[in-house]
Structure 1
Amino acid sequence: MLYGIAAATTALLFAALLTALLRAPALRLGVVDRRRQRPVPLLGGAAVVLATCLVVAAGSWLGVAPLGDGMGPLLAAGAAVAALGLVADLRRVKARFLLGGTAVAAACVVPYDETGVPAGLLAVAWIVLVAVGFKSLDHADGLAGAVGVVTAFGVGACAAAEVMDGLAAMLSVLAAALTGFLMHNWHPARIALGACGSLFVGFVLASAAVLTRAGHEVASSAGVLFALTAAACADLVLVALSRRLAGRPLLRGGPDHLAHRLRRIGLTPRGATVLLGAGAFCGVLVGVLGHVGWTGGTGPLWVAGVALAVVLGLLRVRVYGPRRPPVHPLRAPAPTASHTASVQVRG
């Protein structure tokens, strides 16, 4: 108990300090997100990764909180995913390399002896989906961090219910590190997670959730896992449907995420983040109650129904501008009436 409090406090302070220190180098090196209204540095995720990994490793090295079964590979795979995301922050990396690298890391942490190969492969795909979903949530100030904190506490509660104390302690350290980062990421954000931090957070949370549900029935596990990560999944589904219906490339960025659409209908940036964080908390709460058997199988169905209603409702919010007709490169545009009149006057 005392170690958990000390470790969480250390991670919070270390992440807050390191995030502040990394902001200036990120600006100097041009490691910024230019898709927002103003350039935002992207090295905040590196602070979260370092704080989490160093505090957990120190606890294991000192012998006060040894890494349990599967935690060592999980932390190493998460660090590898974070390194891949850092490369993507520093230079342009194709999406298939990010997805492939994350999938390889996920394949190394899934306990196939408890899940079986078919369910294990589905778990790999789901871990990749959640990791990408958290990367997608980094589009708004404070959103990925807030959802990450809520989800970390929820998955940690599930781990504690399975008497996986080491995993629960690691998730509490991650939640504390994200809280320290949020001191600098709340609107108006002075730094963002970037691919490094968002992929790491999503990967660790999804992998930890899979470890806690290993050995349970597949259908019920799918419901619990979805409820724990409903916000990230809803954002991915909304973006995919929106771009598909609009005929836009799936990998082209745009102001079509959850927070973007909520701001279109009148919410403030902070209001959108608080509302989505509250929605994530409700989903996580249902997932935890479903994991301990208090809600049966109906709870995740309610979460799925609400998420689907939100997605369908926000799809009606217009976020794309009018499409311009293509201009043939060999054809000059027809002269307008004003242009013809000016030519006549000059003649």
Structure 2
Amino acid sequence: MLYGIAAAATALILTALLTALLRTPARRLRLLDRRRQREVPLSGGVAVVLVTGLVVGAGGWAGVAPPVADGARELLVAGGVVAVLGLCADVWRLRRRVQAVGTAVAAACVVPYGETGVGPGLLAVGWVVWVTFGFRGLDHADGLAGGVGMVTAFGVGACAAIEVMDGIAVLMSVLAAALTGFLMHNWHPARAGLGACGSMPAGFVLAAGAVYARAGQGLGESAGVLFALTAVVGADTVLVLVARRLAGRPVLRGGPDHLAHRLRRLGLTVPGATLLLGAVALAGVLAGVLAHAGRVGADVLWWVAGGALFVVLTLFRVRVYGPRNPRQCVSSQVNGSLRVRSG
């Protein structure tokens, strides 16, 4: 208990300091993300990954913490591989297909097939890839990926603690603390971002850790718990994919069509949209943890799924796409002026 508190406090402080120290090198290397005409250095991802690995690994090596077990060591190594993929994507704009294949291979190497079985294990691999890229999609708004990731990490850590998986529980608490330290620089207006180097391994470790916590339990209820733990990520990804598909836009190309974008179209501020989505994520995490612990029935998971579907259908009606090409822009402006004159 005392070690967990000390490790989390250390991770929080170190991440906050390292994120600040790496901002200048990130600017010089042009590791930047543009948000609302601002250039945000992507120093937070490297800080979160390095501090999480250092604190968890050093505790076990020094003998002041339980050995890194329960699959936590495998998650650290595989998460490091995904972080390297993300860093390559930040620096060289690595293709999404290459990133997806690399993430799938890393997930396939850590899924506990002995407890899940081959079929459910392969489904778990696909789900880990889904969540990994879903978390990367949340990094477009100040404070969103860090806030949702922090809440999810606490939830997955609680599920692991219930199953007496001390290694994964410690890993999740350290990751949650590291993301909290990063949030000190990422709250609006953000002075640092995660980038693919930070958002992808965070999503990967969270998703794979949840798979470990639910391994060997019922497939249907496990799917409900896993979705509840990542409800905001799932809703955001489904909304974006369906909206882009129906609009005839490239699925893998970014755009202002995420949950936070649509909430801002409705009049919310950037912090307001982040806080609202964080509250929704917290509600889903609480439902998932209580269902995992057997404190509530599986019916609550259907309420989470229904709520996510309601959010998707409601925000889908918010218009976020303009005309596709300049000709359509000119045509719409001419038609608008003609309507005004005729009126």
TM-score for both structures, normalised by structure 2: 0.94
Are 1:238 and 2:239 matched, yes or no? Answer: yes
Aligned to 1:155, what secondary structure does the other structure show? Answer: helix
Matches within 5 A, 1:216-255: 216-255=217-256
In structure 2, the partner of 1:47 is: 47
Q: 2:71·2:168 contact (CA, 8 Å) conserved in 1?
A: no
Separation in structure 1 between the aligned mates of residue 324 and residue 177 of structure 2, nearest angstrom: 45
In structure 2, the partner of 1:201 is: 202
Cα displacement (A) at 1:35:
5.5
Separation in structure 2 between the aligned mates of residue 279 and residue 235 of structure 1, nearest angstrom: 12
Separation in structure 1 between the aligned mates of residue 154 and residue 326 of structure 2, nearest angstrom: 50
Are 1:139 and 2:140 matched, yes or no? Answer: yes
Separation in structure 1 between the aligned mates of residue 327 and residue 260 of structure 2, nearest angstrom: 31
Separation in structure 2 between the aligned mates of residue 84 and residue 248 of structure 1, nearest angstrom: 26
Separation in structure 2 between the aligned mates of residue 35 and residue 104 of structure 1, nearest angstrom: 32
Separation in structure 2 between the aligned mates of residue 82 and residue 286 of structure 1, nearest angstrom: 30
Separation in structure 1 between the aligned mates of residue 121 and residue 133 of structure 2, nearest angstrom: 19
In structure 1, the partner of 2:7 is: 7
Matches within 5 A, 1:169-184: 169-184=170-185
Which is further off, 205-214 or 22-31?
22-31
Cα displacement (A) at 1:324:
2.8
Aligned to 1:113, what secondary structure does the other structure show? Answer: helix
Aligned to 1:79, what secondary structure does the other structure show? Answer: helix
Q: 2:152·2:229 contact (CA, 8 Å) conserved in 1?
A: yes
Which letter does structure 2 place at the counterpart of 1:170? L
Q: Deviations over 1:140-159 (max 9, x none)?
A: 00000000110011111111
Which is further off, 66-75 or 183-192?
66-75
TM-score for both structures, normalised by structure 1: 0.92
Cα displacement (A) at 1:254:
0.7
Separation in structure 2 between the aligned mates of residue 125 and residue 195 of structure 1, nearest angstrom: 19
Q: Deviations over 1:75-121 (max 9, x none)?
A: 10001100110111111110001100100000011000000000000
Are 1:102 and 2:103 matched, yes or no? Answer: yes
Q: Deviations over 1:138-185 (max 9, x none)?
A: 010000000011001111111111011221111100000000000000
In structure 1, the partner of 2:70 is: 69
Cα displacement (A) at 1:36:
4.0
In structure 2, the partner of 1:288 is: 289
Separation in structure 2 between the aligned mates of residue 54 and residue 325 of structure 1, nearest angstrom: 51
Q: Unmatched 5+ residue regions in structure 2? A: 329-343
Which letter does structure 1 place at the counterpart of 2:263? L
Separation in structure 2 between the aligned mates of residue 326 and residue 115 of structure 1, nearest angstrom: 54
Q: Unmatched 5+ residue regions in structure 1? A: 328-347
Which is further off, 178-187 or 60-69?
60-69
Separation in structure 2 between the aligned mates of residue 316 and residue 37 of structure 1, nearest angstrom: 27
Identity of aligned residues (%): 70
Q: Which has the larger radius of gyration?
A: 1
In structure 1, the partner of 2:131 is: 130
Which letter does structure 2 place at the counterpart of 1:48? V
Q: Which runs of 4+ in 1 moved over 6 A?
A: none
Q: 2:128·2:207 contact (CA, 8 Å) conserved in 1?
A: yes
Are 1:310 and 2:318 matched, yes or no? Answer: no
In structure 1, the partner of 2:333 is: none
Are 1:262 and 2:263 matched, yes or no? Answer: yes
Q: 2:70·2:166 contact (CA, 8 Å) conserved in 1?
A: no
Separation in structure 1 between the aligned mates of residue 3 and residue 156 of structure 2, nearest angstrom: 19
The alignment's C-alpha RMSD in Å is: 1.3
Cα displacement (A) at 1:326:
6.9
In structure 2, the partner of 1:25 is: 25
Which letter does structure 1 place at the counterpart of 2:14? F
Separation in structure 1 between the aligned mates of residue 118 and residue 8 of structure 2, nearest angstrom: 36
